Amino acid sequence: MPATRDLHELGQSLWLDNITREILDDGTLQRYIDDLSVTGLTSNPSIFQKAIGGSDGYDDQIRELLGQGLDTEPLFFELAIRDLQRAADLFKPIHEATDGVDGWVSLEVSPLLANDTENTITQAKELHAKAGRDNLFIKVPGTREGLPAIEELIFAGVPVNVTLLFSREHYLAAAEAYTRGVERRVAAGLDPFVCSVASLFISRWDKGTADVLEGDLKNAAGIAIGERTYKSFHEFINGERWAELKEHGAKPQRLLMASTGTKDPALPDTLYVTSLAAPDTVNTMPEKTLLAFADHGVLDGPMPLDGGDCEAVLVGITRAGVDLDALAERLQVEGRDSFDAAWHAMIADIAAKAEAVGKG
């Protein structure tokens, strides 16, 4: 039995952090569902840039869409939505069997809207309606401008994957935005169950501290931040506020561990999966990490509810010269900028493909 089954039985959802038309066409995604306990999927601009730019599998649809006179950005969303609709349909039985908690796919709003609340809300609603799938999240960054958009979208009944979270404080701000949206639905007499996940990025912490930390502290920041945030997540969803919301039929936002492929080749390739296993959470992992964990991964029990030794580790990291709050803010900005760059590169690739297909 692959170790992914053990993780699933522990209570953590395994989601694939990748989508290409190829893995849909050749049955790879279905095999991951059947054999490796994959129960969901995430995407982002970097993933779609590689998928579209590196394949001719989109050319026929691009040719079709060019005939409709679409500009490049709307053309991209048509390409992405078609892939994600197919993936959502594969996960639909899981979505139904878990009463809507699992079996999700994710589509991100344009990263160029990360600092634009009103247009984020507008585009998120339009994309969710266009996709027409109950098990499709709209990804919204947990930036200062994104937080009010998250609250408004939850109130409007649009399920949200909050992305670009890098600290306990980022998570709690996202959890507050989600909870306010749910509370407003309760007050308005609406169904309070609108699903959401909060995506905490892990590996970028260790990459961001690689030049500063040494010895036992090197590559320890990401896991410690994950443990600290999991402790706060558990406390938040089990507090009095959520006890009351649960009585109305609401279900808490789940914590999602993102960016869980190791960047340092000296590290075990399954490190972040083994270390961040926990029930009632999600781990979305790159295909390489998923296959590695299935092949030789080992579980070492769930994360401790009290955070284990994370605070001692983070004190040591602080004493070594790392300003945790400042680094979290920097990582969020860098993450946003990275998605911006991938977005522009992807749009350029699509434009080039469109020109080539049009000439053909």
pLDDT of residue 49: 82
The rounded distance, in Å, linking the Cα atoms of 140 and 150 is: 7
Among 338, 322, 328, smallest CA distance to 226 is for: 328
Please list, residue by residue across 87-119, b when 16 or more beta carbons sit within 10 angstroms of its beta carbon and e when fewer do.
bbebbeebbeeeebbbbbbbbbbbbbbbebbee
pLDDT of residue 176: 98
pLDDT at 338 over 70: yes
Of residues 360 and 73, more confidently modeled:
73
pLDDT at 235 over 90: yes
Domains of the chain plus CATH, in order, are: 3-359 (3.20.20.70)
Which tens digits make up the pLDDT trace of 26-36? 999 999 999 99
pLDDT at 257 over 90: yes
The rounded distance, in Å, linking the Cα atoms of 267 and 259 is: 15
- Catalytic residue chosen out of the listed positions 125, 139, 218, 251: 139
- Name the strand (E) or helix (H) holding 10: helix 3-10
Measured at the alpha carbon of residue 91, what is the angle toward residues 88 and 96, in degrees to the nearest 5? 110
Confidence of residue 348 (pLDDT cuts 50, 70, 90): confident
User: Is 218 assigned a catalytic role?
Assistant: no
- pLDDT-above-90 percentage for the chain: 81
